Amino acid sequence: MRDKRLKKLFREQESGFEMDKWQERMPDIATAIWEKQIVHRPGKADIFWTQLCYIEKSYWMAQFLILTFTVTIFAVYNGGDNLWLNLKTLLALISCVAAFVGMGGILGLNRMFSYHMEELMSTFYFNIGQMASMRLAVYSAVDLLFLVAVIAGVTLGTRISVLIAAVYLLVPFLLSNLCYFTVFSLVKGKAKGAAFAASAVFSSIIGAAVSGIPVCYIYDEMMTIVTILFIAVLTLLAEIKYVLRSLRQEAV
Amino acid sequence: MEDRRLIKEIQQGHKELLNVVVEKYYKDIYGFCAYLSGNGEDAYDLAQETFLKFIRYVDNYQYRNLKGYLLTIARNVCMDYFRKEKNNAKNMTNIVDANPEEKDYLLTEGEAAFEQAEKRMWLRAQLQTLPAPQREAMVLYYYGELKIREIADIMSCSVPTAKSRIRQGTEKLRKRCKEAGYEG
């Protein structure tokens, strides 16, 4: 609570102001305003929207294909009525799909820095780090939406809880992203594309294999799995931070 | 016009609206600079410098609290002033002697104006005897009428630290007001 007497005392300062003296300073301010050239600097929301508009069609196509494949699996599973596709196989397939979800994003990011795009952006004084961050944010938002939709689908279509469904999807998704970012920062040249594909296949195999082992995703071990996932998320964030810092220093 | 809209319009190219910002806040900034520097004459230059800096960097400004932002610039301008002039508490204790123009003004004005000015200069002098962080916090709190969280932001310190600086400053000033007979 402000001391009223002190407040009053402080406010009496205003009476010391002399307009004439201030008017003497005004021409300099008026000149500065006259000479000022306003440079438009887009806000974060503008940059996000621009990056969203410039995402390649191939990315949306890839995501659409993955989504179509997932919906088809659910349609075939048909609430457990299909003899050829039981719950275990469904989860293994979903785990495989999750490994490919992040691939479109990393390929898009890779494209931003290929074919001399990096030099071109530097020439035009674009803030590469900021653009890459925003592009990553867009990809991550799309990937997360996708994962949430699939988790909801798994939960509604089977008797599995949300947590278990999330684990089945997040393990291969995080593993694949860890591989993608490692490849992105370590592998150079044309080998990158092949390395991304190999990472996706490797992660999907691991995801499918782990989901096929009944003891792996049981409730008793859930705390351990969640801890591992948490560590994986932290590692991924550290990796992304490293990649973005490298981009700012134009090292990639 | 609301500050947020004002800034948006300026950043969209309506630079003439910078005049509106100056018109709206020049007295606040002047008062802040006068308290912080302890010198009513130099405060005009400091306030001018504050607005010139604001005009220079307005493109990059992301709106949060315009008055707070201007006070932050004013604070930095005052810090530079202290560095340049080495204007410490010792040569600020006798404000009347330091400002001959103000002295003339007092002599020509009536008794009421003299009393008010005397009170003002007494307060400036008292503020100069406080440690700089306490003085800044006090001016931002009582004159700028900012919230403690905003003061902590401007001074780059924690909220408890800002609170403690204000409390200590208030206690000291209250005591001195009592001694001087300025009890309201």
The yes-or-no verdict on residue B95 having pLDDT over 50 is no
CB-based contact A17 B15, cutoff 8 Å: no
CA distances to A50, A209, B1, B5, B63 from B8, in Å = 19, 55, 11, 5, 8
Query: How many Å apart are CA B78 and CA B88, to the nearest integer?
Result: 12
Query: How many Å apart are CA B105 and CA A201, to the nearest integer?
Result: 85
The yes-or-no verdict on residue B48 having pLDDT over 80 is yes
Please name which of B153, B125, B132, B76 lies closest in space to residue A9, comparing C-alpha atoms.
Answer: B125
CB-based contact A3 B44, cutoff 8 Å: no
Q: Which of B143, B176, B183 would best serve as a mutation to test chain A binding (most A beta carbons within 10 A)?
A: B143
Q: Alpha helix locations (H) across chain A?
A: 4-11, 19-35, 44-53, 57-77, 87-101, 103-112, 117-123, 128-157, 162-186, 191-212, 222-248
User: Sign of dihedral through CA atoms A135, A137, A138, A140?
Assistant: positive
- Interface ipTM above 0.85: no
Determine what percent of chain A is predicted with pLDDT higher than 90. 0
All residues of chain A having their beta carbon less than 8 Å from the beta carbon of residue B141 are: 2
pLDDT digits (tens, 9 = 90+) for A210-248: 777 766 666 666 777 778 778 888 888 887 877 777 666
Residue A146, classed as helix, strand or coil, is: helix
- Which distant-in-sequence residues (6+ apart) come within 8 Å of A252 by Cβ? A113, A118, A184, A185, A243, A246
Q: How many CB pairs under 8 A join A and B?
A: 105
Residue B50 pLDDT level (bands cut at 50, 70, 90): very high
Q: Is the pTM of this model over 0.80?
A: no
Q: What is the pLDDT of residue B171?
A: 87
* Mean pLDDT value across residues B114-132: 75
pLDDT digits (tens, 9 = 90+) for A81-106: 777 777 788 888 888 888 888 888 88
| CB distance B31 to B142 below 8 Å | no
CB-based contact A32 B62, cutoff 8 Å: no
State whether residue A27 sits within 8 Å of chain B by CB: no
State whether residue A39 sits within 8 Å of chain B by CB: yes
| CB distance A80 to A111 below 8 Å | no
CB-based contact B143 A6, cutoff 8 Å: no
CB-based contact A16 B62, cutoff 8 Å: no
CB-based contact A9 B182, cutoff 8 Å: yes
Residue A152 pLDDT level (bands cut at 50, 70, 90): confident
Q: What is the pLDDT of residue B73?
A: 92
**Tokens describing residue A182:** 């490692």
Q: Which of B26, B61, B148 would best serve as a mutation to test chain A binding (most A beta carbons within 10 A)?
A: B26
| CB distance A177 to A204 below 8 Å | no
Query: How many Å apart are CA B9 and CA B58, to the nearest integer?
Result: 11
All residues of chain B having their beta carbon less than 8 Å from the beta carbon of residue A15 are: 113, 116-117, 120
Q: What is the pLDDT of residue B51?
A: 93
